[in-house]
Structure 1
Amino acid sequence: MDGVELKIVDKFKRLLCLDKIENWKSVPYGKEIHEARVEFNKAKKFKAKFKCLLALREIEDWNIHGTTELAEARIRFKKTDKCDMFSIKFNNGLMEISPLSIGDQTKTYLRNLIAYEQYCDRDNGFNYVSNYVRFMDDLINTPKDVELLHRSGIIQNYLGDDEVISTMVNKLCDNINFSTTKSIYARTSMDVNMHCRRHRNV
């Protein structure tokens, strides 16, 4: 071996406290390390980073579960007192959402606002209505989701049919491009997902 290889072997021995083993002429294989009774343990800092990477992988699409599933994960829903339509906050298992009245003209109203944002207001970069509708679309998947939000005072149902509302909300996002990572609710979605992954909340 040349001088460089010898330095590598010596460094390896020092790192593993194996300076007394003189018969190793190269970097040892797994079998040799096992015979020398060397134990390896995962470093805590790498373990923490690994968990963090797993969490990021699971939330890479930034989507959240429907209202019913979130309620099963001990998330409570409450109508916020603010008049701001786009107010959605999540803290310590409580999601506060501004009330939304849904009637005959709601679908047309929201679609027009989304169209304006998509085609006329691109330079602004803050697609509040599109982000809001996308978030509500995640929350509402079934009539049961609508019913739970209605009982919480968040949805005021003037159509009388929970299934009609769930279908309407789900279709509002059809053929619309979203950047979920740039959503104004991206942080909220991440916090909700992290809450749901805690073992005591599953």
Structure 2
Amino acid sequence: MMLCVMELKDASVKFEAIEDDYDDELNLSMFNIQFEHGYFKIPKFNVDDKTETFFRNLISYKQHSLEDDKHKYFSDYTFFMDLLISTKEDVNKLCHDEVPNNWLGDDKEVALMFNILGKGMFISEQFYYAEQCSKVKAHCKRWSNRGVASLKRDYFSNIWVTVATISVAFLLLLSMTHTVIALVTIIIPPLSRH
């Protein structure tokens, strides 16, 4: 359905942590994940020793609830996080962007937790994050997004590589200009000779 964090990064997707702003009485839900203009905006959350048990209990309750809920938010959330997080590198990138507060300390444990929570889960046809997944797919299909990310990763990831690339481009341009001027002076005789 969707690429993981590191694959999304290769398509120039950025991640931004959002927090509740209690001064403005804005109560953001942990489920309020949005994708806009190449940015995934994900509410901050804590991962500690109790997180897996907390999610398991809520998922179990919601999956077996007799209520006719159209959306199983906790199930959809953990399934969505499992899509985003495949490896410890995905967790590391999200932690770098301050999305999760990893109190477990080990990125691999967090990845494993979400991978286990997402397995064998029943997801309804009204997947809560379907719209966000569609937006991400459309973003990733644009060649320009992958191209720009590839250039940044391959040529502009290191300041010295960037300086060398710009220097080579400048010298190439200077050499081409010199060649064109030399050819013009050879092909077109000076006007003063006539």
- TM-score by length of structure 1 reads 0.66
Match of residue 167 from structure 2: none
1:108 equivalent to 2:53? Answer yes
Following the alignment from structure 1 to structure 2, what is the Cα–Cα distance between the partners of residues 113 and 186? 21
Quote how far apart the aligned CAs of 1:71 are: 0.8
Following the alignment from structure 1 to structure 2, what is the Cα–Cα distance between the partners of residues 165 and 183? 23
1:71 equivalent to 2:71? Answer no
1:119 equivalent to 2:119? Answer no
Matched residue of 1:84: which SS?
coil
Following the alignment from structure 1 to structure 2, what is the Cα–Cα distance between the partners of residues 146 and 112? 23
What's the CA shift string for 1:134-177, capped at 9, x where partnerless?
Answer: 11111000100000100111011011100011011000022221
| Partner AA of 1:96 in structure 2 | K
Aligned-CA RMSD value: 1.1
Match of residue 151 from structure 2: none
The equivalences for 1:76-155 within 5 A come to 76-82=14-20, 83-155=28-100
Quote how far apart the aligned CAs of 1:125 are: 2.0
Quote how far apart the aligned CAs of 1:121 are: 4.4
Match of residue 137 from structure 2: 193
Quote how far apart the aligned CAs of 1:120 are: 1.3
Which ranges of 4 or more aligned residues in structure 1 deviate by more than 6 Å? none
| Partner AA of 2:141 in structure 1 | R
Structure 1's 121 and 155: CA in aligned 2 closer, same or farther, altered over 3 A? farther
| Partner AA of 1:186 in structure 2 | A
Following the alignment from structure 2 to structure 1, what is the Cα–Cα distance between the partners of residues 85 and 141? 20
Match of residue 163 from structure 1: 108
Unpaired stretches in structure 2, ≥5 consecutive residues: 21-27, 147-194
Matched residue of 1:156: which SS?
strand
Identity rate of aligned residues, in percent? 35
Number of aligned residue pairs: give it. 139
Quick one: which of 128, 133, 137 aligns to 1:184? 128
- TM-score by length of structure 2 reads 0.69
Which has more helix, going by share of residues? 2
Following the alignment from structure 1 to structure 2, what is the Cα–Cα distance between the partners of residues 104 and 81? 22
Match of residue 29 from structure 1: none
Unpaired stretches in structure 1, ≥5 consecutive residues: 1-62
Following the alignment from structure 1 to structure 2, what is the Cα–Cα distance between the partners of residues 105 and 146? 18
Match of residue 34 from structure 1: none
Following the alignment from structure 1 to structure 2, what is the Cα–Cα distance between the partners of residues 193 and 100? 25
